[in-house]
Structure formats: structure tokens, C-alpha cells
Structure 1
Amino acid sequence: MRVVFAGTPAVAVPSLHALLASDHEVVGVLTRPPAPVGRKRVLTPSPVHRAAEDAGLPVLTSDRPHADDILTALHALEPDVCAVVAYGALLREPALSLPTHGWINLHFSLLPAWRGAAPVQHAIIAGDEITGASTFQIEAGLDTGPVLGTMTETVRPTDTSGTLLDRLAAAGAPLLVSSLDAIADGSARPQPQPDDGVSLAPRLAASDGHIDWQHPAVAIDRRIRGCTPAPGAWTTRDGSRVKLGPVGIATDATTLAPGQLAVTNDGVLVGTGTHPVRLGEIAPPGKSWMAAADWARGARLDAAAAFDVTGDSEGTIR
């Protein structure tokens, strides 16, 4: 089949490569426009854009796929199907009806669980032990279309959203290809999603990474891993933001008050609503990431040292 591929971030690149290696013909790529990157805010093409150019493919850049110029360009490519992986823009009519077999999305959850922009982050934060990926036919609703195929993946105890998403991106690429194969040979049997088990995964804001030390250690561990690398987990000390990397739960450590800091033989500990957690890497205000032990030595923490405890004020964990 003639395929237009729509995607933007690095996690979409494995699927593009898999389609290029398949029997299908990738005739073009749709991706979001270059975005400012880094402190100097240099406009930079997306990872999918760069991969498409490396493959010699024509590239359409837009965050409005229903715009007249994009519709005209898509129509000229004569796609049998459009394959979508993390494109990042709303698809609606008349774009949805343009390809013969519609738009097939590779979504990183076991639908109908975690419909939305951040399924992997929400799966980790919720403590899911199993997740996966689904291919489905895009329709007007949010990730509500009939499912063509699924694959499962175990959520490991130390997974961040970054490591889990990388695995799902690699393992999901063959699923996307096989789903298109099934459409091409007529064996595809899309199944409507059940009404039970629906959960939503809206995009996380920076405020979602704000850690409330009064919460249980298990919830804090999951929250930090789910927000790593984006949008990033953080706390404050004396009102200044401190970035947090993944932590360990110190079940045998001495009890500390929520937010209380202690340097022990077991590492740099922070009190929570249950067991203390052991800090890994942190980034103090205006500084690069460093080991928590190195930060503690430089900060000369005393017995009163603590991260701010904000309770359920605006911007904390919900």
C-alpha cells in the first residue's frame, strides 16, 4: 500500500524505519513544524523530519493537517492509508476521509486504558504492572476507534516513562506494520473498544511533577518515574526549585518527617508520608545534574534541613 507516515518525536522513528523496510511504499511524511530547542531556542526539525530527509522522502510540516494546503499535498500523494505515531496534532475531517483505508494510529497503551497524550506517564504513575501498545482506526473521538492489534509489555520497577516508551516504540513498530499488512490482504478485523476500562491520560504539565512529601513513598517513587524525563519531577527548598531524578524506597531507614533531609550511610534520605526515599540524582537551582551525595556535601545539610512541604496547595500532586 501507499503510506503517508505522520509522526514527530524520536519514539515515532522506529515505526518509520519499520515501514521503510516493509513491503509498503512510504510516499511521504507529515510532521509538526520545526520547534525552538535549547537555551538559545534554535528552530530545529523534528526527529521524524530528519529521518524522513535521510530516507529521501517528501516532508510536509504542519500542526493543522486539515488546512487546505496540507489536504492538497496529501491528496497529491494518493495514500492508501496514513500511519500515525505521536504526530501531536488533532486529526479531523476532511483529512480523516482522504486515504482509502483511513488513518491507523499506534498508541502506547492497551486501549481503552489511557486514552490521551500521555499514556505511558499515567501508566507508571498509576502503578500499572502491564501496559502495551494498540493499533486502531482513528475516528472523531479521542482514541476511541476500533482496535486492529495489541502487544503487551511489563512495567519494570525501575522504569521511567522514558525507558518504557523507548521499549514500546521499538516493540510497537512491528505491530503497526502487521496491522497495515492485514489491511492490505483483507484479513484485518477491527474490534470496537469495550465500554468498560476506559481511563484518560491528559498531557502532563510542569505542575504535575511537583512532589508533595506528605504522600506515601510508593506514590512519590511512581510520580517521579512517570515524570522522567518529561515534564520533570521537582521540589523546592527555601522556595527555590530543585529537580529530582528517580528515587529508591528505604524501607529499613529511620522514620523522617515529610520533607526532612538526612545524610546517612544509606544515602541522602527524604521523609515522606510513609518510608523515607533515597535520592539519586538532583539538579539544584541553576546547576547541572549531580549525585545527591555530592550535593549534600556542598550544601552542608544540618539536622533542620528539609525540602518545603506544600500540602495540597496549587501545583502539587493530585
Structure 2
Amino acid sequence: MRIVFAGTPEFAVPTLQALIDSPHEVVAAYTQPDRPAGRGRKLTPSPIKDLALTAGIPVAQPENFKSAEAIQALADLQPDLMVVIAYGLILPQTVLDTPKFGCINVHGSLLPRWRGAAPIHRAVMAGDSKTGVTIMKVVKKLDAGDMLYKVECPIGAHTTSGELHDRLAELGADALLKVVDMIENGTVQAEAQDESLVTYAHKLEKQEASIDWRQAAIELDRKIRGLNAWPVAQTTFKGQVLRIWRSEVLNRSTSAPPGTVDCSAPALDVATGKDMLRLLEVQLPGGKRINGKDFLNAHPAAGVVLGS
């Protein structure tokens, strides 16, 4: 199969690598234009561009597919299939119709649950017990195409979005290869999505990082895990931003106001709207990530109200 790959972030890398290692031919890699990154705002290529160039695959970085030239350049590749994963551009119908077998997408959820930009984070934050990867046909409506293959993945009580991201990236690569072979062999079977079960995973915003201690400990723990590794949950400690990387729910109550630190354990335990939350790993500006006990040793906190 002659395959055009379209993707941008790290999540797409295992899938492209799997295709490179397969008997199929990746004839081009489409990815977002280089963007400014880091403190120096230096133009930086995407992870997919780096991998493609290393593998000797031609790279295309159109701003969009509005021009006839961009459409023709894709057609000239004579692709059998286009594989799309976290590409970041909306594909017009002319692009979807160009490959012989159309376009398929690797999506990090069990569709129709969590269509949209942040399915991995939203699944953790919602307290889902499982998620997975869905391979689907690409249509003009967001993540609404027929499903071709699914693989499930449990979400553990301590799983973070960053950890789940890496697992799903590998699962997605394996699943994609199975689907490509089924398409080539004519054995793939499509299943329509149940629109009544659709939920949307809206894009993460930085302002979501702020912790409201009036919420229940279990909700805050899910949020902390869901925002790890970006943008990372945060509160304030004596006027300084305190990032919270990991936590643990304690099934004990307190009459103290939400946000109050109780160091009787001794541990960095905080009152919430329901139950207590133990902060296992935190970070002050300019400092390293440290465990809660070490933080208490360096920063007396008994009776301090976080977020005040």
C-alpha cells in the first residue's frame, strides 16, 4: 500500500514508526509548519517531521489545503490510503476523496465517547475506568466517521494523562497496522457511531489548572492526574504558585475550611469539600518536583490555607 501519513505531535510518532517498519510504503509525511518553541522562540520542527526526515521520507507542511496546488501535490503521490493522527488541519472533502481507500484516523478514545481535542485528559478527569483507541474513517464532521477497529485500555486509580498518552500511542500503532492490512485484504468492517452516546473532549485551557478546594477530594485527584503532564494543576502557597503533580485521596473528614493544610500525619494533607487530599508531589517556582514530606520539612505549613 502507498500510504500518506499526516500527523504532528509525539502521540503520532509510534504509528509512523510502525508504518515505516511495515511492508507498506510511506510516500510522504504531512505535518504542521515549524513553530516557535522554547525560551528563544526558535522555529522547531514537529516530532513527525524529525522522524520522517531521519527515515528519508519526503515531508510536506502546507498551511492548509485551500489551494489547487496543495490538492494536486497530494494527488501526484497516488496514495492508496491516508493515515491521519493528531494532524491539526481540517481536511476538505477533496483531500478525503484523493486516496484510493480514503483517509483513516487513529483517535485516543473509545468512540463515540470523547470526540474532540483532548480525549485522554477528559477520560481521566471524568473518572472513566477504561478508554482506548479507535481507528475510524475520516469524514468532514469531527471524529464522526465509521469505526473500523477498537482496542481497550484500563485507567488505573493512579494513572496520569501522560502515562495513558504513552500507552495509547503504542496501542494505536499496533491497531493501525491491523486495519491497514484488513483494508488491503478487503476484510475490514465498518460500524456507525451511536450519536446518542457522543461526548466531547474540549481542548484543555491553562486556566483549568487552578484548584478549587471546595470540590471533593476524588474530583481533585482526577483533575490532578488529568492535567499531568500539562498544564499541571496548581494552587497558591503563601502567595507562591504551587504546582501539584501527584495526589492521593484520604477517606477521612475534617472540620477545617477547604484548602487548610493538616500536617498531623506528618504529610501534606489538605482539607477539601469532601474528605482529605494528600499531596504526594509538588513544585514551587524555580524548584524541583519534590514529595510532600520533603516540602513540609523545608516549608512549615500547618494551618496554612492553600489558594487563599
Q: Same fold (TM over 0.5)?
A: yes
Q: What residue number does 1:111 align with?
A: 111
Q: 1:259 to 1:34 in 2, by over 3 A?
A: same
Q: Show the counterpart of 2:159.
A: 159
The separation in 2 between residues aligned to 1:108 and 1:22, in whole angstroms, is: 22
Q: 1:68 to 1:259 in 2, by over 3 A?
A: farther
Q: Does 1:282 align with 2:282?
A: yes
Q: What residue number does 1:267 align with?
A: 267
- The answer as to 2:181 corresponding to 1:181 is yes
Amino acid at match of 1:27: V
Question: What CA RMSD, in Å, does the superposition of the two structures yield over aligned residues?
Answer: 1.8
Aligned match of 1:235: 235
**Deviates most, 254-263 or 171-180:** 254-263
Closer/same/farther in 2, CA of residues 296 and 63 from structure 1, 3 Å limit: farther
SS of residue paired to 1:247: strand
Q: Is the alpha carbon distance of 1:63 and 1:287 closer, same or farther for their aligned partners in structure 2, counting shifts above 3 Å? A: farther
Q: How does 1:190-229 map to 2 (within 5 A)?
A: 190-229=190-229
Give the CA deviation at 1:227.
0.9
Q: Which runs of 5+ in 1 are unaligned?
A: 310-318
Displacement, 1:33?
1.6
Q: CA deviation at 1:172?
A: 1.5
The 5 Å alignment of 1:54-93 reads: 54-93=54-93
Q: What per-residue deviation string (whole Å, max 9, x for no partner) do you get for residues 271-303 of structure 1?
A: 111111111222223434333333333333242
> Secondary structure of the equivalent of 1:277?
strand
Asked if the contact 2:136–2:147 (Cα under 8 Å) also holds between the matched residues in 1, the reply is yes
Moved more, 241-250 or 127-136: 241-250
SS of structure 2 residue aligned to 1:17: helix
Q: Which amino acid aligns with 2:178?
A: S
SS at match of 1:231: coil
Q: Which amino acid in the other structure matches residue 85 of structure 2?
A: V
The answer to whether the Cα contact below 8 Å between 1:255 and 1:276 also exists between their aligned partners in 2 is: no
Percent pairwise identity: 37
> Equivalent residue for 1:312?
none
Q: TM-score, normalised by structure 2?
A: 0.94
Question: In the alignment, residue 108 of structure 1 is paired with which amino acid?
Answer: G
SS in 2 for 1:246: strand
Q: Which residue of 1 aligns with 2:51?
A: 51
Q: Give the equivalent residue in structure 2 for 1:294.
A: 294
Q: In structure 2, what is the equivalent of residue 306 of structure 1?
A: 305
Q: Does structure 2 conserve the Cα–Cα contact (< 8 Å) formed by 1:124 and 1:160?
A: yes
Distance in 2, matches of 1:264 and 1:66, equals: 63
Letter matched to residue 24 of structure 2: H
1:37 aligns with 2:37: yes
Once the 2 structures are TM-superposed, how far is the Cα of residue 205 of structure 1 from its aligned partner?
0.3
Count of aligned positions: 308
Residue identity opposite 1:10 in structure 2: E
Report Cα offsets for 1:6-62 as digits up to 9, x if no partner. Answer: 111111111111111222111110111222222222221111111111111001123
Q: Is the 8 A contact 1:66 1:94 kept in 2?
A: no
Which deviates more from structure 2 when the two are superposed, residues 253-262 or residues 73-82? 253-262
Structure 2 CA distance, aligned partners of 1:295 and 1:227? Answer: 21
Kept after mapping to 1: 8 A contact 2:267/2:296: no
SS of 2:180's partner is helix
Structure 2 residue runs without a partner (length 5+): none
| Aligned-pair CA distance for 1:67 | 4.1
